[in-house]
A and B are shown apart, each in its own frame.
Chain A
């Protein structure tokens, strides 16, 4: 009796993830969410293209010490102005975006410029699961299990020329499928553009993500392919990429052009350099404590300083925010 009872109580090490939520139920969660939507629970509405499972190896570069943000929050709380300026606009409107077929134009200082089909661009590069903190410049954060490929692997394939010093990325412009790009009120100039120094782009932590939580990206998260640079503020992660351009000069960044005093080219997460309008010392972790969630301290380089601080030795981070 006692033994049987003992057998029923598993230690943490015994519990494999699939036992916590049955996999079949996990795969059906979008149906559940769609059902919830028809019941009027509008904020849960994902309405994206059906996701396909992805096989990915767990990466040793993952952040494993913190709880991952629930999927429902990751797919319903987004800044993706192409679909509207409110956080819940992308989840409502991104389903209209068609991500197949998808071409990425590669140009500039590379030996292999071309209009690549997405599959060809990342073909034969092993998908990895990378669990990263994501810190938004607005003062909130998530922990996201991305699935993607190192950007370095893709760039090597494209063969950057010796004179290339920066990598620029463009987001899709397709007003017919992106309501934020239609009408009188246009919050930003399109396309949304941003870029990295080549050494930042080649850093092993920098990835091009094609999925999260083991499935292809929801449109509102930047499907079918987006940039993830975990030590920088979230807006550096260009979504729905259609162009990769290698340049010699520092490329323009949408938010920097929009408001140069508030958003710099680097935009490294830095609790000691405040945004002109608000403090960056603390952040609110999404999905953590409901109405009564407490702020937590923001970490230098979002906690990735050990890996990336050397990229910026000798650089004044207050001047180069």
Chain B
């Protein structure tokens, strides 16, 4: 069937990059630092320790996109911008970077020495925490599509996706635990993530206090943004 292949390909590209042209552009733009850094590595322009530079760069971009994804709701609440339609793209780009970061560590750095990798995960807290952050992102990435949201139902999906806060906290903790001394960039990310988590907690408290118990919508049918367990 000659038509099957293109259809499959376009389904794949829809799955990976979405349908909206701006969203597609966002994916391409978002992944550009990864492609550029890898290219610089291939032409030996990543400095003296190119593998480490690649690994660090990918990890940093994962954290940056995670922060951007987390910032979407507070920005909308503050009336700065409504970027909700790009939140999934930002989250998935963060996941792609995290996956590439883990790939560089397991394949290039450790040479797929599974025993050494397992020993690292068990013995090195910063790697334990980093792997935890990545593992938490996996179910979120898998369920980041309309069929999965339908299957899980809005409330369950949203409960699941609250894991992103834990993942973000673990990611920045992973960063803190591996440095020899704090840098301004690290402090910025730690403050941003702590701030974004705090804003969310305060909003939830305030929302819960404002709403009388009888007026609450029935469980499982609450609108997406106000969820409270």
Contact = CB atoms under 8 A, between A and B. Distances in A.
Contact of A81 (B45, B116, B123, B181): B181
B40 to A, nearest CB: 9
A244 B125 CA distance: 39
Given A290-B41, A292-B108, A187 B49 contact: no
A85 B186 CA distance: 12
Interface of B: 38, 41-42, 44-52, 54, 108-109, 111, 116, 119-120, 123-126, 177-178, 180-184
Contact of A286 (B45, B49, B180, B184): B49
Contacts of A187: 181-183
Contact of A88 (B47, B178, B182): B47
Given A277-B124, A292-B108, A73 B48 contact: yes
Nearest to B38: A291
Given A81-B181, A187-B181, A277-B177, A291 B48 contact: no
Kindly list the 9 A-B residue pairs having the minimum CB-CB distance in the complex, ordered from nearest: A77-B48, A73-B48, A291-B41, A187-B181, A286-B48, A43-B47, A291-B50, A85-B183, A290-B50
A303 interface: no
A87 interface: yes
Given A86-B183, A293-B50, 7 more contacts: A77-B47, A277-B125, A278-B126, A279-B124, A284-B52, A291-B46, A291-B54
A298 interface: no
A138 B48 CA distance: 14
Contacts of B51: 284, 291-293
Nearest to A263: B180
A284 B49 contact: yes
Question: Which of A77, A81, A86 is most buried by chain B, counting CB atoms within 10 A of its CB?
Answer: A77
B53 to A, nearest CB: 9
